[in-house]
Amino acid sequence: MKISYKKKELLNLYKQMVLIRRTEESFVEPILNGRIKCPVHLYSGEEAVAVGFSAYLKKEDVFFGNHRSHGHYIVKGGNLEAMVAEIYCKEDGCAGGRGGSMHIIDKSVGMLGAAPIVAGTISLTLGAALGFKYEKKKNVAVAFFGDGGTGEGVLFESINFAALRKLPIIFSCENNYYSTHLPIRETRPNYPVYKIGRAFGIKSFQVDGNDILKTTAVCEKAISTCRKGEGPVFIEFKTYRLRGHVGPSDNIQGTQTDIRPIQEIEKWKKKDPIKRLERYMLKNRICEQKELLNISKKVESQVFAAHQKAQISNFPKGEEVEYYVFR
Query: Where along the sequence are the contacts to ligand TPP (CB under 6 A)?
Result: 41, 67-68, 116-118, 145-149, 174, 176, 178-180, 245
- Minimum CB separation of residue 6 from ligand TPP in Å reads 32
Nearer CB in complex with ligand TPP: 118/141: 118
Q: Which is nearer to Mg ion, 173 or 299 (CB)?
A: 173
Question: 320 φ, ψ to 5°?
Answer: -100, 15
Decide whether 81 or 147 has the Cβ nearer to Mg ion. 147
Nearest CA to 242 among 32, 20, 74? 20
Compute the least distance from the CB of residue 245 to ligand TPP, in Å.
6
Q: What is the Cα–Cα distance from 87 to 35, expressed in whole angstroms?
A: 10
Residues in the chain: 327
- Within 76-175, residue ranges assigned H as helices are 80-87, 122-134, 153-165
Q: Which does 180 bind (CB under 5 to 8 A by kind): ligand TPP, Mg ion, none?
A: ligand TPP
Provide the 8-state DSSP code for 282: H
The amino acid occupying position 186 is E
Residue 118: name its binding partner from Mg ion, ligand TPP, none (Cβ under 5 to 8 Å by kind): ligand TPP
Total binding residues for Mg ion by CB under 5 A?
Answer: 4
Neighbours of 156 (CB within 10 A): 15
Given a contact cutoff of 8 angstroms between Cβ atoms, the answer to whether 236 and 52 are in contact is no
By beta-carbon proximity to Mg ion, the closer residue of 97 and 209 is 209
Q: Which residue of 86, 106, 147, 208 would you call a contact of Mg ion, by CB under 5 A?
A: 147
User: By C-beta, is 41 or 76 nearer to ligand TPP?
Assistant: 41
Distance, in Å, from the CA atom of 29 to the CA atom of 267, rounded to the nearest integer, reads 26
Q: What is the contact surface with Mg ion in residues (CB under 5 A)?
A: 146-147, 176, 179
